[in-house]
Structure 1
Amino acid sequence: MRRRLFAAIAMTLAAAAVPVSADAGRSTLQRDADGIVATGVTGVLARETSPHGSRTAVSGVRVLGGSAPRADGRFRIGSTNKVLVGTVVLQLVAEGRMRLDDSVEKWLPGLVQGNGYDGRKITVRHLLQHTAGISDDSFPNIENAQQYYERRYLVRTEEEVVRAGLRNKPPFQPGGGWDYSNTGYNLVGLMIKAVTGRTWYDEVDRRIVRPLHLRDTYFPGPNPKISGPHAHGYTRFTAGEYTDTTELIDADASGGYISTLKDLDRIVRAIFDGRLLKPAQLRELTTTVAMEGTDIIWRNARYGLGVGSRELSCGGRVWIPSGDQIGFKTRTAVSADGTRSVVVSMSTQLNDSMDAVLAQENAATKLIDDVMCR
């Protein structure tokens, strides 16, 4: 549903902002969550964790014109999904079932050949690190409300996504640059199935979701709805117009899972504190290359195997497995030892102008830096 709101939206959202608890008052976390809503985001959930415990803040509304969102609400995690895929691969490496330097051709013979591609030269490491040179030009994006209504229920297999991407010439040869590729992660998903005989999401459930006892994290498959409590996701394609983009079928290895603040916080800390990865595999995960072209939003950002890092405003670096999926933005940060973390879910994408994109991103960055620099 499209709604023309303009100035009224800011008044509605500000009125719905609520503190985390009576004794916490307007904590820094709460003020920063309110600051994100002030940019035009409809709803914000935020959670910080340290050795002293956890704190949660919510701001805005669950649905336009409605009440505040629930702190236990579910949301689409978008490309935060990539660190789940990377973790599964690294566990398989630790078990000796595959290697990071295995070629695509070894596990998917004949799939990546021709049009400038050679699967013998593209490795698992290249794919996880976005250095494979796999074009993302045909990845099915949604850029306006009409496209959303036309495409929201389309079902695409990972093979279809990969074959569509390979119809474009590679932007560079393997190892010759850095270019974010959702299509490349669909290839990783197919390789996991070739190695294990199970889908990548079955392996995520078996290796991450169940061992961590996550009750609210799940793979939706072809179901376009979000089950359980959740805020509606909105996208502002045009200034002043909010399109309800909650429903979507877009569940593949590049960004498919649904989770909550508490569950996602547990995941990102478990990856870095040794519960999910051995030291040798964690070193591989955090071996990085420069993320070219991202300085406009993240300072000196680098990318490992499914996870990025950036400089904090106070100095030092933080790990940032984050992602977008239509209607939702997820931003996380975790310390290298997994003892400090912050997870932010925003149930709006402000895509109507670069100024709006940067305002939302900068407000989320401020929240994260205020937590991680404390």
Structure 2
Amino acid sequence: MPPTRTPMTRRKPMAHLAGPVALFLLAVAPTASRAQVAADTDAVLPLLVTRGHAPAAALLADDLSGTRYAHAETKAEVGREGTPEQRLEQKPEPLRRADHFRAGSITKTFIATVVLQLAAEHRLSLSDSVEDHLPGLVRGEGRSRGEGRSGGEGGSRGDDGRRITLRALLTHTSGLADFTAVTGGTTPVTPRQAVRLALALPPAVPGRFFYSNTNYVLLGLVIEQVTGNSYATEAERRIIAPLRLTGTSFPGARSSLPEPHGRAYSADGSDVTDLDPRVAGAAGELVTTLPDLNRFYGALLGGELLRPRQLREMLDTGAAHGAYGMGLYPVRLPCGTTVWGHNGRISGSYVRTAATVDGRHVLTYRVNTDAPEDPDVEPALLAAEFCPRTLR
């Protein structure tokens, strides 16, 4: 799974709660086989709370048989210590289907979709260099000559915009360092500040997969340069409005979440619900809901947003040696099924969407903390949802 940086903004403390897990399920018109899948998936969901150490978790699944929502949370043992107000504060809020939350790097799928739409309109080419659109911005020569890691034959650097294509940005093969290695994902920066921070770091090897948030910050600037509009405006016009994603937005500098929303907690239990989205920008700014993400990925993989050629390019993992396409990455499950999607991680929120390649079966789950602590829970959840029991 591509790694993402985790902002660790500190706010009001709230300890993660140990104790029983409550599981709630709402199903719409399941078939008999679907009911078995639901039972398997919902048996795994509480593990995100008990083994993943999240205060609460939720999932939304959509396929041809219907829609199913489930959530789980710790059950606080209230009544022994502290004032009534303090004891009430310890009880976690359930995650609701309509809640808004921060989607982190799932933003990258939206940005990649806009870039591929612009390519289909011949307003840019994926073979264009960064220099073609953002002249002078990405130049590694700013440091002393000879510093940094060699980027390939002839000693070419991995941070020279004249050699980096838009395709390399989309597939994380540019060789650019990740600016969040400096900020930790907690310091708001402008896109150009993010690029400068990345250029002060040793570059990776160009042509090799290296997940870097800097790549998508640059793509956001390219969108602005090509269209004259911000990446947020273009995504709203091209994706959010046509699909009627009423719970999805690019908040810019707004630190509060739209209503309704629950609370978000960092790994140490601090309340980080309010967060400046400029810590991530085009690499992770998005705010959305579970239904909107299922609708978006289903529409994208179903061919509603991209022409066939561009969708094939998005799913082509050759440049990243199988690790990543363009704003999407594949996971092959034990039963042989491959699902496509992305994860998103930002302080107080982890979300994962996975879908079959035709977009007809989509699952999104989220927890209200930085990430599940047990890395084995997510693969188990995906297998439970997408693999028939007899094939596991």
Give the partner amino acid of 2:26: V
Q: Which amino acid letter does the alignment assign opposite residue 45 of structure 1? A: A
Question: Are 2:18 and 1:10 equivalent residues in the alignment?
Answer: yes
Q: Paired residue for 1:275, among 304, 310, 314? A: 304
Alignment of 1:171 with 2:213, yes or no, is no
Hey, what does 2:323 align to over in structure 1?
302
Instruction: Give yes or no for contact 2:139–2:160 (8 Å, CA) kept in 1.
Output: yes
CA shift digits 1:5-62 (9 cap, x unpaired): 5xxx121xx3443233699898333222212111211111101111111111011169
Paired-residue identity, %: 34
Residue matched to 2:344: 323
Structure 1 gap ranges (5+)? 144-150, 293-300, 351-355
Pick closer, same or farther for the CA change 1:339–1:22 going to 2, 3 Å.
closer
Go from structure 1 to structure 2 and tell me whether the alpha carbon gap of 1:335 and 1:22 turns closer, same or farther (over 3 Å shift): closer
Shift of 1:221: 1.0
* Bigger shift: residues 263-272 or 68-77: 68-77
TM-score by length of 2: 0.81
Q: Tell me, yes or no, if the aligned pair for 2:333 and 2:387 is still in contact at 8 Å.
A: yes
Q: Is the 8 A contact 1:139 1:182 kept in 2?
A: no
Q: CA RMSD in A?
A: 2.3
Aligned to 1:60: 73
Shift of 1:138: 5.0
Alpha-carbon distance change, 331 to 141 in structure 1, aligned in 2, over 3 angstroms: farther
Work out whether residues 56 and 93 of structure 2, in 8 Å CA contact, stay in contact via their aligned partners in 1: no
| Contact residue 272 and residue 347 of structure 2 kept, 8 A | yes
Higher mean alpha-carbon deviation, 43-52 vs 363-372, is at 363-372
Note the C-alpha offset of 1:290: 7.7
SS at match of 2:342: coil
| Partner Cα distance (2:306, 2:178) in 1 | 29
> Is there any run of 5+ residues in structure 2 with no aligned partner, and where?
1-11, 76-88, 142-156
Shift, 1:318, TM fit: 1.1
- 1:127-151 per-position Cα deviation (integer Å, ceiling 9, x unaligned): 01000000115545448xxxxxxx4
Shift of the alpha carbon at 1:90? Answer: 0.5
- Tell me what 2:288 maps to: 259
Which residue in the other structure is 1:33 paired with? 45
- CA distance in 1: counterparts of 2:217 and 2:57, whole angstroms: 29
Change (3 A) 1:22 1:200: closer
The DSSP-based 3-state class of the residue aligned with 2:60 is strand
Shift of 1:367: 1.5
Question: What residue number does 1:373 align with?
Answer: 387
Q: In structure 2, which of residues 156, 162, 174 is the aligned counterpart of residue 120 of structure 1? A: 162
Which secondary structure does the structure 2 equivalent of 1:130 belong to? coil
Checking the alignment, whether the CA contact within 8 Å between 2:255 and 2:274 is kept in structure 1 is yes
| Residue in structure 2 matched with residue 213 of structure 1 by the alignment | 244
TM-score, with length taken from structure 1: 0.85
Tell me if the contact between 2:108 and 2:216 (Cα under 8 Å) persists in the aligned partners.
Answer: yes
Q: Are the structure 2 counterparts of residues 112 and 67 from structure 1 closer, same or farther at C-alpha, using a change threshold of 3 Å?
A: closer
Match of 1:158 among 191, 198, 201: 191
Other structure's SS at 1:320 match = strand
Letter in 1 for 2:140: G
- Listed as ranges, the matches of 1:20-99 within 5 Å are 20=26, 27-39=39-51, 40-60=53-73, 64-99=90-125
Cα 1:201–1:88 shift into 2, 3 Å: same
Structure 1 residues 87 and 64: CA distance shift in structure 2, 3 A: farther
Q: Check the 8 A contact 1:29/1:46 in 2, yes or no.
A: no
Deviates more, 1:198-207 or 1:25-34: 25-34
Cα displacement string for residues 214-267 of structure 1 (whole angstroms, at most 9, x for unaligned residues): 11101111111111112211122xxxx411122211341101111111000000
Which has the greater radius of gyration?
A: 2
Q: Counterpart of 1:34 in structure 2: which amino acid? A: P
Residue correspondence of structure 1 range 330-349 to structure 2 within 5 A? 330-349=351-370
What secondary structure does 1:18 align onto? strand
Matched ranges for 1:279-298 at <5 A: 279-289=308-318
Distance 2:90 2:252 in 1: 27
Deviates further, 113-122 or 21-30: 21-30
> How far 1:340 moved relative to its partner?
0.8
